[in-house]
Amino acid sequence: MTGGSTGARNVWGFGLGTLGRDMLAALVAMYLMFYLTEVLDISASAVVAVTAIMVVMRIFDAVNDPVMGIIVDNTRSRWGKFKPWIAIGALAWAAASILMFADWGLEGTTFLLVFTVVYLLWEIAYTVNDISYYGMLPSLSRDKKQRERIGVVARICANIGLFSLVVGVLPLTKALGQWTGSLQRGWFTLAVILAVIMLAFQTITLVVAKEEIRIEQPPTTPLRELFSVIVRNDQLLWVTLAMVTFMTGYLVTTSLGIYYFRYVYGDEDMYSIFAAVLGITQIVGLAIFPLIARFLTRRQIHRLATALCIAGFALFFVAEPSMALIGFAGVLLFSGQAFIQLLMLLFIADCVEYGEWKLGRRNESITVSLQPFIYKGSNALASGIVGLTLLASGIASLSSDDEAAAITAGGILVVKIAMMVLPLVLTATSWLILRAKYRIDEPTYARIVSDLKEREL
């Protein structure tokens, strides 16, 4: 095993790879339902079917994440165990994303069958890339501060990519729709562009990033021991439960945002402006994280971030119709979310050393596979909540030409409760779980690393 500082090579080589990834991931995770309901204008019964398909497929794929983790951990190649799968996954993911927004010209049962196949292909390809990509993070450095630097740059780049899409998705699809002759083709063209961008930035990671921590002839992990590796890492399980809880609420809020501005606030064009403010807020929050970490422990930062999120949700509920209050609520919410998002990545990465210390085997990809499990599991739950919200509020029954005024006062209340009250409760619950059960604070992690180094002598 090698040691030392990873330097700028890994900070930027790994971080820049997230730019295109999060753009393309958000296009499906946040806007696929909007595309289906507002562009393809599928029926209410189709919304029910699509919601069920997405929930089942995401749960199925989330459960398969650790299996992909064990495949990556057991890979031996001249390029290491991560990069071959990063490349394979990126290529397949790009192709599946383009297919997702292609004009199939299908309806009814045939449409649903093809949708299921394409969506499953997208999920599998994303898993292959995601598990190998983030599985590489713990191997880039064992130094806590260096790992934070890598994580900060990665999350800043990811949020630049994410919010570039969030801000530009409506104006870009409209402009591309006018250029190509239809709004559907505008969305398809955007999918192609984002797929190319993703591949370009993934290539940077493949060429520049370099593993620092490698174990000579590491033992393989049999498939039969997969469940044991995860379950015996108790700290990993508590982090996973807490973050699934938090991310479910967060993804419900972000997924319903575009509906909120169209049907509750009544001005769809304000969505892009709001998103730009939130994007800047998240990036600033991530950029100042190292400064805050000089004065506060991770546990204290998590408490502060949770308080900001709860205050943001509460203010958001009563802010409408004041755009100034909505914007301020968004700043509170997304500054807190930025800290929690980064802490989630760091908590899970630290569980790699904890698992190695406790179990005697280093399983980066299996451990880090719980991060996409968190995202997909919470995305599945959020998709179900969003689909039910669209049905209960009456939005799913509206045609794409209906005015925002068509939604009733009761429908507006349903959207606001799902978008703000439920996530507030989930955020508080997530904090309570970590406060009670997570034990890898800074001194504990330092003792674990010291003990591991003594074992290697």
Tens of pLDDT, residue by residue over 152-172, are 888 888 888 888 888 888 889
Q: Per-residue confidence at 287, pLDDT binned at 50, 70, 90?
A: confident
pLDDT, one tens digit per residue, over 299-346 is 999 999 999 999 999 999 999 888 899 999 999 998 998 899 889 878
Say if 9-211 and 221-450 have the same CATH topology. yes
Whole-angstrom distance, CA of residue 54 vs CA of residue 43: 16
Tokens of 354: 């904890």
Among 40, 43, 35, which residue's Cα sits nearest to residue 391? 43
For the segment 88-119, what is each residue's pLDDT rounded down to a tens digit?
999 999 999 999 999 887 788 898 999 999 99
What pLDDT does 5 receive? Answer: 46
**What gap in Å lies between CA 309 and CA 275, rounded to an integer?**
16
218 confidence band (pLDDT: 50, 70, 90): low
Q: What is the pLDDT of residue 296?
A: 92
Q: Name the residue among 138, 123, 137 with its Cα closest to residue 64.
A: 123
Evaluate whether the domain defined by 9-211 bears CATH number 3.40.640.10: no
Candidate CATH numbers 1.20.200.10, 3.90.226.10, 1.20.1250.20, 2.60.40.10; the one for domain 221-450: 1.20.1250.20
The 10s digit of each residue's pLDDT in 407-432 is: 888 999 999 999 999 999 999 999 99
Residue entry with tokens 């997924």: 255
Length of the chain (residues): 457
Mean pLDDT calculated for residue range 129-148 = 79
Confidence band of 221 (pLDDT split at 50, 70, 90) = low
Structure tokens that stand for 192 in this block: 């192609």
Could you tell me the residue ranges of all domains in the chain? 9-211, 221-450
What is the per-residue pLDDT for 3? 42
For residue 60, how many C-alpha atoms fall within 13 Å in the half-sphere facing its CB?
13
Question: Which residue, among 125, 120, 123, has the nearest Cα to 86 in the 3D structure?
Answer: 125
Measured CA to CA, the distance from residue 37 to residue 404 in angstroms comes to 14
Of 65-69, 193-197, 242-246, 433-437, the range with the lowest mean pLDDT is 65-69
Lowest mean pLDDT among 199-208, 314-323, 353-362: 353-362
Residues 192, 193, 194: CA angle, nearest 5 degrees: 95
Q: What is the pLDDT of residue 2?
A: 40
Taking the model in full, what pTM does it have? Answer: 0.71
Give the mean pLDDT of the chain.
85
d(CA 175, CA 173): 5
Cα–Cα distances in Å, from 235 out to 70, 153, 302, 352? 19, 25, 16, 10
| 14 vs 80, residue with greater confidence | 14
How confident is the model at residue 4, as a pLDDT?
Answer: 43
